[in-house]
A and B are shown apart, each in its own frame.
Chain A
Amino acid sequence: MALMAEHSLATLRDLSLIVLIMFGFQYLVIRRPMARLKRVLGGFLLALTGLTLFIVGLELALFPLGSLMAEQLVSPNFLPALAEGAERHWHDYYWIYLFAFMIGASTTIAEPALIAVSERAHQASNGTLNPLVLRSVVALGMATGITLGVWRIIMGWPLTWFIGSAYVLVIVLTLRCPKHMIPLAYDSGGVTTSTITVPIITALGLGLATQIPERSPVLDGFGMIALACLFPIISVMGYAIIVHPKGSR
């Protein structure tokens, strides 16, 4: 309850800014009363309550779940036994790769925003684009991004290498991709990181970087969200190029 009171003050501050902006522009610049004022105010009250609850849930459940799974899946007791003086190989961590892949794929496949996008794409393409196939392609991209992100943390390689190569790949594919698929591909990068998956993935990354020897939370823990956004763009454009070979654009 104390947690709740503390957070509700902070969310009040966070939400009141946009409220002030809206009312300021409405009454000082446009100078017309706001339509359905009561409903708008009621909505803000709901949003305030909701955001406070969400932040409380974030601390109670989403952060702990992410870091807990990272801790357990890379704990020395769980990993295959290590011979005396031997070094830990990156492939010893296979369970955490599988976990990351499954989290990425399953949350994306079920993501409501993506379902809406793929239905729209289905209609826009006159039924040639199967929405389920599109969702699977995006999910595959997202899962690959997260898994590569986990692998990067384990290897301790700079994020720049991954982002740089992904950018180059995105640019090359954009040049080859059928024009009508480009906006869809870029859009699908944004919808994979929902408000629920972001905290879990961030906590997973930080948990891993804390647990794995010689890794730093700040240097290695972040970057998974970025990769999770980039790889669906790549997978959707790659898919578009395979399905619509040159000449049929």
Chain B
Amino acid sequence: MPFVVSFGRQILDSTKDLMPVILVVLFFQVLVLRQPLPETIAAGQVLIGLICVVIGLALFVRGLELGLFPAGEGLANAFVRKGSAFWLLLFAFALGFGTTVAEPALMAVAVQAERAFLEEGLILQQQLAPGRVALALRGIVALSVGSAIVLGVLRILKGWPLHWLIIGGYMIALALTAVAPAPLIGIAYDSGGVTTSTITVPLVTALGVGLATSIKGRNPITDGFGLIAFASVMPIIFVLALGSLGFWWLNG
């Protein structure tokens, strides 16, 4: 029974997220554009799609809350208690990497990025199997989030000041922007925005808060938050740097 209740609440949350979009789209379609949907798109299909989105997202979040989140929190606490910096950092990296690979918002951006690359002829269809570019982009972002969490954990352990590291990260990102191929820039900055989403944030925050609570003189609120801040700067740096390498390799 508690499951039904919490699943219902999750459905409500997803619907709340989606409702404003539907209302605004309807408002424009009916009052501003004053035309039926173009024939290229089937209204029934969109409706089914929207239902899939709401139910799918609710199931996904609910499933994570049942399985992954408690398991991850338990592990994070176990590694904090274990007191081995090596295993803690390795776990931090794996956690950041694994959660980012499963992040739905990143999947959406990666799919669109691949389509845009194909459309522009920046990569050729026969050059790479379909889905390769999207997968590569997600791999790079996952690598960067893993490294960001490692850096964030190191920062909590050593007590480095957060704002200088963040400002430093911004500086590196801007410097790389100046030399990276232009098609990578928008995608790189957007990747930074999607990592702080459904699955990464709860688990990474659990690790940060657990760590900050167990070390004297650390503040759980600001230090737990610091991990997320790194996780949104690091993807920009990695996508620009590694993406440039991939770009030059593909284009000779």
**Chain A interface (Cβ < 8 Å from any Cβ of B):** 10, 14-15, 17-18, 20-22, 25-26, 29-30, 32, 34-36, 39-65, 68-69, 71-73, 78, 95, 99, 102-103, 106-107, 109-112, 158-160, 163-164, 167, 171, 174, 183, 186-187, 189-191, 193-200, 202-203, 206, 210, 216-226, 228-229
Contact = CB atoms under 8 A, between A and B. Distances in A.
A22 B193 contact: no
Contact of B49 (A59, A159, A220): A59
A165 B29 CA distance: 35
Nearest to A39: B66
Nearest to B61: A50
Nearest to A11: B102
Given A14-B101, A21-B98, A228-B193, A55 B66 contact: no
Interface string B25-60: 101110011010110010001111111111111111
A146 to B, nearest CB: 12
Nearest to B18: A196
Given A45-B63, A58-B104, 5 more contacts: A53-B59, A61-B47, A68-B38, A196-B17, A210-B119
B102 A61 contact: no
Contact of A39 (B67, B72, B79): B67
A103 B67 contact: no
A56 B62 CA distance: 18
Contacts of B232: 189-190, 229
13 contacts: A20-B98, A25-B75, A25-B79, A41-B67, A43-B63, A43-B64, A50-B63, A57-B50, A69-B28, A72-B29, A107-B20, A160-B177, A218-B187
Given A22-B75, A174-B163, A40 B61 contact: no
A20 B71 CA distance: 12
In this complex, the interface size class of chain B, counting residues with CB under 8 Å from chain A, is 35 or more
Contact of A57 (B56, B98, B201): B56
A46 B25 contact: no
B23 to A, nearest CB: 7
